[in-house]
Amino acid sequence: MALPQKFLFVLCLVGLVFSQDMPYEEFLAQIQACPSECSCPQNFPRAVYCDNRGLKSIPRIPPYTWYLYMQNNMIETLPLDAVQNATQLRWVNLNRNKITDKGIEEDFLSAMTHLAHLYMDDNLLSSVPSPLPDSLEHLRLSRNRISKIPAGVFVGLEKLNLLDLQGNKLMDDAVTEVSLKGLNNLVQINLAKNQLSRMPLGLPPTTTQLYLDGNNIEKIPADYFKGLPKVAFLRLNHNKLGSSGVPKDVFNISSILDLQLSHNQMTEIPIIPSGLEHLHLDHNKITSVNGSNMCPVSVDSLDSAQNESVPRLQFLRLDGNEINPPIPRDVVMCFRLLRSIVI
Ligand SMILES: *[C@@H]1O[C@H](CO)[C@@H](O)[C@H](O)[C@H]1NC(C)=O
Ligand SMILES: *[C@@H]1O[C@H](CO)[C@@H](O)[C@H](O)[C@H]1NC(C)=O
Ligand SMILES: *[C@@H]1O[C@H](CO)[C@@H](O)[C@H](O)[C@H]1NC(C)=O
Ligand SMILES: *[C@@H]1O[C@H](CO)[C@@H](O)[C@H](O)[C@H]1NC(C)=O
């Protein structure tokens, strides 16, 4: 019995090596095609690691690669032949390179017909690259020099749910219905640290997380969120919003959970919807807090209230304003689920 057991043990080890459902011939082809500049772990044969190697060009990627790590190099160009055989790529990380618009060969990105995650943060792009593969789910392009979103670049990208464009040079006329057309399943969009002076147009009704921190936004149109019935996380920290540009009831949205308005010029507290859980209003110009005005329901009716009508606010920041303590008693009476308040 000793020999077959040993044999079984060896088989188990081999089984571990091929745990990614990879036929042996493919495994061999994959390992043999590993570029000398990169490393291709045998126990994770679908991954190819070429990160942090000072590479100036992208090597030929082995044919069965799913996960490609190319971040932290000095890559300037993306020639099509590098990925011509790697038709199964799912996940490509090209963060922190020197890629320009011109450096991307026409069909380099669209050739990756299974690509779900594309990361190109910290490069030298001045436009959202196009054409993109229809399979894309997450697209990260933060901290480039992007000032342009070509019209229709997202058309057909029915799976794209996360778009990160923070830290670019987008102005109002770049973010429009025409440029965002096709983002039918977008959930999160990050436009923080751009040069927007108004709320972006053309966002799809699926938008749940909208990040606009660090722009120059001065006002919000009264009906802006009518077209965004799912907005739950809204960040507008570090803008130029004053109470005159913010209709008092503009944030009274039933879907909203987290509202961040730190470092603006608000003088009044906007209407707080019942369902809101986190509110950041620190570092504004608010001078007074009136609990009965702030409360989404009447404080009297709360005494006998059922739990579902109790406002959901748990976290409130009001520090960096011109409010004198103590916290009015009716604030605490109203927001019974409040766990933390900073004044
Ligand atoms: C693609 O794969 C074939 C066969 O495996 C090989 O001969 C060829 O050199 C590869 N082409 C590229 C561009 O890597
Ligand atoms: C906020 O919206 C709710 C319905 O979503 C409405 O019942 C309530 O009156 C509004 N609050 C204010 C102060 O306008
Ligand atoms: C809060 O506002 C209400 C209604 O505007 C007012 O009647 C009440 O006196 C105010 N409370 C304080 C403490 O100023
Ligand atoms: C309200 O919630 C508390 C605990 O969260 C529970 O003990 C109480 O029974 C609830 N009351 C009603 C009316 O649902």
Ligand nearest to the CA of 86: 1
Q: How far is the CA of 252 from the centre of ligand 2 (A)?
A: 6
Q: Which atom of ligand 3 is the closest one to the Cα of 291?
A: 1
pLDDT on residue 15:
45
Task: Read off the pLDDT of residues 31-60 as tens digits, 9 standing for 90 and up.
Answer: 999 999 999 999 999 999 999 999 999 999
Q: How far is the CA of 81 from the centre of ligand 1 (A)?
A: 9
Q: How many CB atoms lie within 10 A of CB 106?
A: 10
Verify whether ligand 4 is closer than 6 Å to residue 307 (CB atom).
Answer: yes
Confidence band of 291 (pLDDT split at 50, 70, 90): confident
Q: Is the pLDDT of residue 11 over 50?
A: no
Q: What is the mean pLDDT of residues 3-18?
A: 45
Q: Is the pLDDT of residue 216 over 70?
A: yes
Task: Report d(CA 34, CA 19) in Å as an integer.
Answer: 19
pLDDT on residue 9:
43
4 or 203, higher pLDDT: 203
Q: Say which range, 33-37, 272-276, 336-340, has the weakest mean pLDDT.
A: 336-340
**Residue whose token pair is 């090209």:** 94
Verify whether ligand 4 is closer than 6 Å to residue 306 (CB atom).
Answer: yes
Confidence band of 310 (pLDDT split at 50, 70, 90): confident
Task: Report d(CA 246, CA 286) in Å as an integer.
Answer: 14
Verify whether ligand 2 is closer than 6 Å to residue 271 (CB atom).
Answer: yes
Q: Which atom of ligand 1 is the closest one to the Cα of 82?
A: 13
Q: Is the pLDDT of residue 307 over 70?
A: no
Q: Is the pLDDT of residue 232 over 60?
A: yes
Verify whether ligand 3 is closer than 6 Å to residue 287 (CB atom).
Answer: no
Ligand nearest to the CA of 28: 1
Specify whether the CB–CB gap between 175 and 203 falls below 8 A: no
Task: Read off the pLDDT of residues 251-261 as tens digits, 9 standing for 90 and up.
Answer: 999 999 999 99
Task: Report d(CA 41, CA 46) in Å as an integer.
Answer: 8
> Which is nearest to 203 in space by CA: 213, 188, 220, 223?
188
pLDDT on residue 303:
65
Task: Read off the pLDDT of residues 78-95 as tens digits, 9 standing for 90 and up.
Answer: 999 999 999 999 999 999
Verify whether ligand 2 is closer than 6 Å to residue 254 (CB atom).
Answer: yes
What average pLDDT does the structure give for the chain? Answer: 91
Q: Which atom of ligand 1 is the closest one to the Cα of 29?
A: 5
Q: Say which range, 125-129, 229-233, 294-298, 306-310, has the weakest mean pLDDT.
A: 306-310
**Whether this model's pTM surpasses 0.85:** yes
Verify whether ligand 3 is closer than 6 Å to residue 292 (CB atom).
Answer: yes
